Chains A and B, each alone.
Chain A
């Protein structure tokens, strides 16, 4: 298997590249990112390329030039703009236009036989009448007042879905929030504060995915013949208050209407990325992805728990306690 990975320098892409290089059936990984990694790889199966895929010509030349020359047979597209506050045509070009061009370029490609698109759980609409358990048929978020960050993800997802059933087998992986630094995880950013404010009277269930499981899901999708949309749920499902407790933060419920201005102030003063307006419905009603179809058709089941962002002294205490328990 020869795989082209987009967004390869982002944490999720880098994690996937790492997993691919461990897999015995992978002959070549063409890792494409906006920049080259600081240190060149020592693995001869890995080729890094720097390319701005928001430019259609660059993307076309990559797919029909380098990828064809190297007989790439599968593509994992995970490139998405990660800064949640950024917006505009350039961001849209990276999120949506590049996806459209990539699918188009792959559709009648002589060597590419499989496309995996990493989508996001944020494409689903959450409200009080929605199910706690979100399956692949759940309604999508078409709210025009949603942030571009969400609208782009919905549009890109549907752009890929429009090609389902065509000659190119495509798997759309709607991943639960990847909970790791640098992945644009809103929850990760939220849990960086010592005190986490939560809407009073609500404690929704959340589900988060580890980087390792996100990579494992893409690998499973590369190997499986199934096409379609698949929810990729993580191993960790818990109430928001439990996530705060796991991160050793203080949990402070406050009236809901205060949260948006307070977190707006936090963003403005301290430069954090968390936006309460983007998470309002999730923080009230929750929503857990139903990964049954991925388990059945891709053979993917989450195995790796996330690492909670505990303060260093808590990690030290945890380690000491573990050592003491082992000695006892």
Chain B
């Protein structure tokens, strides 16, 4: 089932081809399908990802997945994107929104673009929502992965830009909790090196991620505003962002309470 889902990405996933097999941002579904095939053992066997509530992901139309963020490298983002591809039919390609320093990274920037990752600028996200795409945003930004292990599963600073866009474009917001990433690859220290504009150089506690089981929970979609004009109201936007944050926190609490163990 999983294999067939992944191989269907190249053929069935809705995609705005600009004429050469790529979309405006460089996404190439055939490349994505190959990459997904390559990391499939990580998803299935190493992290043994389980998820609940994927039926809350809208099958079409603009939508935003809003999740907690952790881990030395964005393995949690990769597992979420794989899970969305696996659980939706036809597969919806989630457009993960990355921080501004990512385009400066050689190789990574190109790899990410082919996989559908976009830089988190207003114009980029606006175009994707206008096209009815599914976006994945981690509103904590780098503060999520940068937090010490003792603060695991505590949401850090919470940006509000996603709420403004959701209101303006009437996009459903699906809260998501990702459990397992914190223990899988804890951060030992941060070095103040800023190579390629990265905010810090992470020093992981283990050389490779530990095989903690990933558990992903999707919440019911939130419709954060009735009137697109509310997107210009700072109070309305802040309230909408807080609503989404509270929903993610609830999902995290439920998932943590229900898990039998970190590695089981």
Contact = CB atoms under 8 A, between A and B. Distances in A.
Interface in B12-26: 18-22, 24-26
A237 B24 contact: yes
Contact of A133 (B24, B101, B106): B24
Nearest to A288: B24
A51 to B, nearest CB: 40
B232 to A, nearest CB: 16
Contacts of A201: 105-110
B206 interface: no
Contacts, number: 83
Contact of A132 (B18, B105, B118): B118
A239 B24 contact: no
A19 to B, nearest CB: 23
A230 to B, nearest CB: 16
Interface residues of B, number: 27
A238 interface: yes
A235 interface: yes
A204 B119 CA distance: 13
A290 B113 CA distance: 18
A130 B197 CA distance: 14
Contacts of B191: none
A238 B127 contact: no
B103 interface: yes
A228 B18 CA distance: 27
A131 B119 contact: yes
A285 interface: yes
A135 B107 CA distance: 26
A132 B124 contact: yes
**8 closest A-B pairs by CB:** A201-B106, A131-B121, A131-B123, A237-B18, A238-B20, A201-B107, A128-B104, A129-B100
Interface of A: 128-135, 138, 199-205, 235-239, 242, 246, 256, 284-286, 288, 290, 305
Given A133-B25, A237-B19, A284-B103, 8 more contacts: A128-B103, A131-B121, A132-B118, A132-B119, A138-B123, A201-B106, A205-B25, A288-B24
15 contacts: A128-B119, A129-B119, A129-B121, A131-B121, A132-B123, A133-B25, A202-B106, A204-B26, A236-B18, A237-B20, A238-B19, A238-B22, A242-B20, A242-B21, A284-B104
